[in-house]
Structure 1
Amino acid sequence: MENETSVSNTPAASTPAANRLHIALFGRRNSGKSSLINALTGQDTALVSDTPGTTTDPVQKAMELHGIGPCLFIDTPGFDDEGPLGALRVERTLKATEKTDIALLLCRPDMKEELPWIALLEEKNIPVVLILNKADLLDDPEAEAVHIERLSGKRPLIVSARYGQGVEHIRKAILEKLPSDFGEQTILGDLVNEGDLVLLVMPQDMQAPKGRLILPQVQTLRELLDRRCPVMSCTTDQLSATLQALRRAPKLIITDSQVFKTVYELKPKESLLTSFSVLFAAYKGDIHYYTASASAIARLTPASRVLIAEACTHAPLSEDIGKVKLPRMLRQRVGEELRIDFVAGADFPKELTPYDLVIQCGACMFNRKHVLSRIEQAKEQGVAMTNYGIAMAYLSGILDKISITSP
């Protein structure tokens, strides 16, 4: 299946991390990031110590903030860390920017380390809130704030995480910095309206353990129910029987990409067809770049090189779509000599130019910012990038016949 993360008995109020607003805290070692994240979350989320460098890996905490909704706070290692291990920690801090929706940057008055990071975050189009923390230890916090504003052009919030001073102002600043389209993205887009009958074709194999559905199926089903759409579901082998049992043809059929061709050949002419992976291509990424990049498949030769990127870090299964089925389809078209590399989870090469094509999974485990960061990297380096569903529709010869949501 397209993404292997399964869910079971999920409380209705829970929100997957990928659908939460990602708020990352950046700053030097011992600037009070961990204390501040504890003050914001109201819990001992991060380890607090006077020893610089206590935070060695990004720490994440999912929360619901009043007026903001579901958030994921990320406490990062200090960006002034030193030595070989320090360089690795700074690299992880830098990597955290790829999924950051809003940055809270803790400042020191001299701003020597902070100014380059402000520029970096703004270059990545990440809204930045400057914070002058540990105000309780400063002789004149207002004067320091004025100095920071003169150097950076931004007025910092004056905060004391220790005493909770200014924490409410941070919440208000986060609200003001919310991306204009945050929370407006939908999985189904304009493909369905209330009352439209939708059929879900969901093969149940090793990647969907007994008693579970994978996350994209669950999220899509929930949105269809919220839209008041009647929903039918079946496995591929029961598709014909299910269609015969229906009194009217489905407005939309959503399938797993690996059976695109089978479903296309059986579906009623009037029914629209898409897949979970294609839906998530628009929900999480740049659908236009994905579809345009699919044509790169036609230019692949036995000497070409392809990168397949999984958001999950699961153990390979015998019929894994990313490591088995998609490579098989590519090699059947191009030749067995085609070189295919794999990365999983947060691993993603900085240099993409050795590749003729990058194929990203549906990325249900990544937030939209993370996926768009990868796409922007591919665009900047002039490398074609598509996703599982789009690639499999192209390889099946039906890309021009499937339905794609409006971004």
Structure 2
Amino acid sequence: MLTGLAPTGGLALLVVPIDLEAPKGRLILPQVQTIRTILDQDSWCIVVKENALQAALDRLNQPPDLVITDSQAFSEVSVIVPDSVPLTSFSILFSRLKGDLSLLVNGTRQIDQLRPGQQVLMCESCSHHPLEDDIGREKIPRWLQQYIGGELQFSHVRGHDFPEDLSPYQLVVQCGACMWNRREMLTRIERCQQAGVAISNYGLTIAFAKVIFPRALQPFNL
């Protein structure tokens, strides 16, 4: 997950918002797995909410080797973190861990080809109960429509449900797939490739729609 991004003995600063979608009393799986990966490679991490990010940076004697944020906080975090510090998101790390980052990046770039009225398929691996302003059902659709300057048609699937016919869709946006193994995610990517349909994931799509895509990919040299 973090190969080549945070050195052994290095410091990663994790930005973890606590909002309505955050489960009570615990972190979500991508955050937990990231922390465990950092510990396994004998590196350090500091975990803060977005409203404590500036204070955390100010208290460090030297900048962190990497900042990892929840994708939804990309805009505000990118303003605070100096350009010289590598910045990405948990979801983008999972696009590398669970899928093929290069293929998903190429799929994300096809967002520029979207036109009002076209169809986008939103896919969630788990079956959590959608809350108000849900990331997959409300926030990403809203940000995509703001980016292209018009309305899109969105469909939603959960778990292993996936249309046999992908031809109506111009874009598939998959969640981070933290509940899946890599083979399952690669199979979904392959299905989209066979159908000639672009596929992205939540974090990559948010970074693109928020116009900070190049910076979010800078740690990966893509």
Aligned mates of 1:357, 1:238 — CA distance in 2: 36
Aligned mates of 1:193, 1:239 — CA distance in 2: 21
Aligned mates of 2:215, 2:164 — CA distance in 1: 34
User: 2:5 aligns to what SS in structure 1?
Assistant: coil
- 2:204 aligned with 1:351: no
Q: State the percentage of identical aligned residues.
A: 45
- 2:53 aligned with 1:239: yes
Residue pair 2:14, 2:69 contacting (<8 A) in 1 also: yes
The two structures, once aligned, show a CA RMSD in angstroms of 1.3
Aligned mates of 1:225, 1:203 — CA distance in 2: 21
Aligned mates of 1:390, 1:376 — CA distance in 2: 18
Q: Which of 261, 267, 273 is the equivalent residue of 2:75?
A: 261
List aligned pairs for 1:98-117, cutoff 5 A.
none
- 2:26 aligned with 1:212: yes
TM-score normalized with structure 1 length? 0.53
- 2:207 aligned with 1:393: yes
Aligned mates of 1:404, 1:352 — CA distance in 2: 32
Q: Which has the higher helix share?
A: 2
Alignment correspondent of 2:120: 306
Indicate the structure (1 or 2) with the bigger Cα radius of gyration. Answer: 1
Aligned mates of 2:33, 2:145 — CA distance in 1: 32
Q: Which of 279, 290, 315 is the equivalent residue of 2:129?
A: 315
Aligned mates of 1:210, 1:314 — CA distance in 2: 14
1:249-296 per-residue CA deviation (whole Å, 9 max, x = no partner) reads 111000001111211111023210010000000100111111111121
- 2:136 aligned with 1:338: no
Alignment correspondent of 1:252: 66
Tell me how far 1:364 sits from its aligned partner.
0.2
Residue pair 1:310, 1:361 contacting (<8 A) in 2 also: yes
- 2:100 aligned with 1:286: yes
1:105-137 per-residue CA deviation (whole Å, 9 max, x = no partner) reads xxxxxxxxxxxxxxxxxxxxxxxxxxxxxxxxx
Moved over 4 A (4+): none
Tell me how far 1:319 sits from its aligned partner.
2.5
Unaligned runs of 5+ residues in structure 2 are none
List aligned pairs for 1:20-169, cutoff 5 A.
none
User: 1:213 aligns to what SS in structure 2?
Assistant: coil
Residue pair 2:13, 2:68 contacting (<8 A) in 1 also: yes
Tell me how far 1:336 sits from its aligned partner.
5.0
Return the structure number with greater relative CO, CA threshold 8 A, min gap 6: 2
TM-score normalized with structure 2 length? 0.95
Alignment correspondent of 1:99: none
Aligned mates of 1:210, 1:309 — CA distance in 2: 24
- 2:166 aligned with 1:328: no
Residue pair 1:308, 1:340 contacting (<8 A) in 2 also: yes
Paired residues, what number?
Answer: 220
- 2:70 aligned with 1:274: no
Q: Which of 101, 110, 121 is the equivalent residue of 1:296?
A: 110
